[in-house]
Chain A
Amino acid sequence: MSVQQKQERAAGGNGGSPASRPIDVLRKRRGGMSDEMKAFYKEQTRIKKLIREVLRQGPKTIPDVALASGLPTEVTTWHLMAMRKYGDVIETTLNGDYYIYRLKEAK
């Protein structure tokens, strides 16, 4: 794609006013976020925030994170592993049959 084509695309083909940005065009075409998606995203954000707050208090196993956050363990496992995949959480040592996890920002 040429530089000119990229500029035109970025401008939404309509002078680049905020109302015509490509992301706004896509949002409008899709009718915005569905209620289901809004609820999904809100809940996910809440869960990840909870897990971060608990791990800021110190490294923990998944059952300990679940206990401290009040989250079900399987929900904790899924979200903590997602945070691990994307670099927010690091696996450390084995404690019995459970690994201990810490926040990457913690030392």
Chain B
Amino acid sequence: MSDLKKRYDALVIGGGIAGMQAALDLGEQGYQVLLVEKDPSIGGVMVGLNKVFPTLDCSSCICTPRMAESAHHPNITIQTYSEVLDVADNGLGFKARVLVKPRYIVEADCIGCSQCELACPVDVPHEFEYGLGARRAIYIPHANAIPQLATLDVEHCTFCGKCAKVCPADCVDYTQEPETVEVEAGTVILATGLQITPMDSKAEYGAKDYPNVMNPLGMERIQSSNGPYGRPLRPSDGKVPKSVAYIQCAGSRDKSIGVPYCSRVCCMYALKQALLLKHYIHDVDITIYHMDIRAFGKGYEQFYRRVKDEGVNIVKGKVAKITEVENRDLVVRVEDLSGGGKVMEYRHEVVVLSQGLIPGWTPNGVVDVQLGEDGFIKTTQPKLRPSVTNREGVFIAGVAAGPKDIPDSIVDAGAAAMEAANYLESIRYREATRVPAGAV
């Protein structure tokens, strides 16, 4: 099933924006790169965002060219729907075992026509839509997926066989099984990205029970024109929301949930989403409840002022509790420090929790690198060489090292690629074992 080569110059774990950037920076220098991604498509979180701050560029419009470039680069091999099981020293570099999960389709023959998905009778909550929308048991992850291949989620399969019957390329292959492949690489870059703080971290916010308490990445999806609803609507009943609240620091700066640090991007993504909602729904009332507004980057302060000027209410106060009332509306209880310090209750139709960022993956049992107190992979020289781990030859890029926005992730990835390239050259890897382009 897998046609991976035996040896690469670099193994990049994680196919999000940082992983792709690191792979491209190495590939452009002539190094052979294997990019392993656990999901069926590369692109990470960024490809699912609506727009990016502060430029309001379409996120998938700027991410998909990088995805295409990575997929078509002569020096980069992408291996999706696969996981790295372990990475060990082998004298000249590293030896890694990669689990290639079966898609149950012959990849070389699949034309991405979606006929299998249309024929499948099972609707499943779609991970890409953060559960708000559906996919089928056999599915193409999204319109921008690379590779644009079907994947059969056998856990939700009814074994009806309809997908194989309708496939015009006759490429459904129910006989596939997981395969473990060994590869060698001179260096490893960890670009394993993020996940958000679990929505049920604070029971007081009711995310487990109240459908209109929303995941911020779910809000990105419903704001997207190719999202689960086609337009921003309320999850409980499809209503066009007229009052939306954002709760800042809902999943950060909170020792009680084990996330004491600031996640850096939440203020900006809340401001961005609020501004865009104002554009999509002209008469919507939006309030952002915050402890502080952190607009640290280039153009960010100006963006914050623009959002205020366009009528988004900014209220200083940490929300203590959210309660559901009739019609599945929500009441936010907050000490309104902007309004004299009184405890107030405000009613909204949708509440978005601005959750924080936590590591998307743990290296425990896979790669022997140290973790910091915050749970992210530790950089041993955070000021001067922020891509370096405690393990020689293993580097990190992007949010794997700590919360950061997209520009910082890309800069980080470039730094990691440079460190990796320097490492490969310094151990005379090129002379001994560098894999020439086209070698098997």
Residue positions of A touching B, CB distance < 8 A = 1, 6, 9-10, 12-13, 21-27, 30, 32-33, 37, 40-41, 44-45, 48, 61-63, 66, 73-74, 76-82, 84-87, 91, 94, 97-99
Contacts and interface: CB of A to CB of B under 8 A. Distances in A.
B256 interface: no
Interface string B205-240: 000000100000000000000001110010111111
B156 interface: yes
A94 B158 CA distance: 37
Nearest to A1: B106
Given A81-B229, A82-B123, A26 B240 contact: no
Interface in B226-277: 228-230, 233, 235-240, 242
Interface of B: 104, 106, 108-109, 118, 121-123, 132-134, 136, 154-161, 164, 170-171, 173-175, 211, 228-230, 233, 235-240, 242, 328
20 contacts: A9-B173, A23-B160, A26-B174, A33-B158, A62-B238, A63-B238, A73-B236, A74-B237, A77-B236, A77-B238, A78-B132, A81-B132, A81-B134, A81-B228, A86-B118, A91-B230, A97-B239, A98-B239, A98-B240, A99-B238
Contacts of A84: 230
Contacts of B108: 1
Given A44-B122, A97-B240, A23 B174 contact: yes
Contacts of B134: 78, 81-82, 85-86
A26 B122 contact: no
Contacts of B122: 41, 44
A57 B225 CA distance: 29
A63 B123 contact: no
A89 to B, nearest CB: 11
Contacts of A76: 237
Contacts of A79: 123
